[in-house]
Structure 1
Amino acid sequence: MACADVDMHIRGADEERRRGSCIEPLRIRCYQASEFVPDDKGQLHDLLQKQPAVLGSLQVVSGLLSFGLGIVFAVTQEMRQSLFTLFRLSHMTGALFIIAGVVSNLLFKFPGLLAVSLVVNSGCIVVAVGAACLISVDLARWSPENEQHLRMELLELCVLGFKGFLSAVLCFWFSKEKLHAQSP
């Protein structure tokens, strides 16, 4: 929002009264700003210009997708059939990414959550890499009779890659903003 330090001094061209007339002449008045004052940038202004809330919303949606895939796997597969189902990877990653997305969305109202968001998104990257490794082991020892589950695990692996990429971008932005805030 722009603001200005305005000089409210009224400058007018006074005209003399017309002789013999009772009508007062018009006065011309001009208001002129004497100096413009630049906007003060708020906390996290540069970061919020990059719209981290959009990436946070994508994290929430992909977390919900992972959580839904986990429910489908839990219902249709035996517990011992895959590591993906045994460790409930999609439930865990889905819930973690939903939390990370919500925290990233809250940065606009609560700038103090920057450090929390950085830690949560860093944790998301670590969990996503671990889950991707377990899914890869699962895919390497997969039996051909469960082709439908194979496709869903591949979908989950792609979603994990996407979520990891989102978290990496957010971590980069957050760490850059944190370093910018600490420097004098």
Structure 2
Amino acid sequence: MARADVDLSIEAMEELPLRGVRRRETEVTRQYQATELLPNTKAPLHDLLRKQPAVLGSLQVISGLLSVGIGILFMVTQDIGYSLFSLFRVSQMTGILFIIAGLISNMLFKYAELLLISLTVNCGCLLVSVVAASLIIADLTAWKPDDEYLRMELLGLCILALESCLSAILCVWFVKEKRKFTP
């Protein structure tokens, strides 16, 4: 590894080449002083990224994984025609969609041009979650206190509500940020 011994100080003493003058009077101090202020430029999506959309995106990914896990549990333990929840694979479909939305929201830090795509995916998540919630609610109308599968569907509905809230918050933030850039 190379090493250099270079003085990086801003202040420097310099001797003037004058003859017959004392040494102390010949030293001149030079200092760096800024003469103009540079404009304070903000990075793209600066205000949005201060709100930490990646945190909500990470929560979307985690809740999507939980939703997929519940769907796999239903797929293994239930007959496919038992409920609308298992027939349409509601949990797997919404879980995968929210995982994708969360990953795209996390990538906004590096790729600001993904804002419109992330907004579109999160709006699509909201639409799909409305359809999924209505299917789950249709199943829950046949509630029997001893049916454990319906309790799991209720858990799936709660996870879906969490995922929908996260997407709604992200959609609001993305719309506000998009309005700043469109004339």
TM-score, length-scaled by structure 2: 0.84
Moved more, 41-50 or 154-163: 41-50
Paired amino acid for 1:181: F
Where in structure 2 are the equivalents of 1:29-178 lying within 5 Å? 29-146=30-147, 148-178=148-178
Paired amino acid for 1:84: F
Q: What secondary structure is seen at the aligned counterpart in 2 of 1:107?
A: helix
Paired amino acid for 1:154: L
Aligned length: 173
Paired amino acid for 2:133: A
TM-score, length-scaled by structure 1: 0.83
Aligned-pair identity (%):
55
Partner residue in 1 for 2:6: none
8 Å contact kept, 2:85–2:91: yes
8 Å contact kept, 1:11–1:31: no
Q: Distance in 2 between matches of 1:33 and 1:65?
A: 55
Q: Which consecutive unaligned segments of at least 5 residues does structure 1 have?
A: 1-9
Q: Which consecutive unaligned segments of at least 5 residues does structure 2 have?
A: 1-10
Q: How far apart are residue 167 of structure 1 and its match?
A: 0.4
Q: Distance in 2 between matches of 1:120 and 1:102?
A: 11
Paired amino acid for 1:70: G
Q: Distance in 1 between matches of 2:34 and 2:21?
A: 38
Cα deviation code 1:25-47 (max 9, x no counterpart): 64433222222213311221211
Q: How far apart are residue 112 of structure 1 and its match?
A: 1.4
- Aligned-residue Cα RMSD (Å) equals 2.7
Runs of 4+ in 1 over 4 A off after TM superposition: 10-26
Partner residue in 2 for 1:28: 29
Q: How far apart are residue 96 of structure 1 and its match?
A: 0.2
8 Å contact kept, 2:139–2:150: no
1:151–1:64 distance in 2 versus 1, CA, 3 Å: same
Q: Distance in 2 between matches of 1:22 and 1:142?
A: 99
8 Å contact kept, 1:13–1:27: yes
Q: Distance in 2 between matches of 1:137 and 1:124?
A: 20
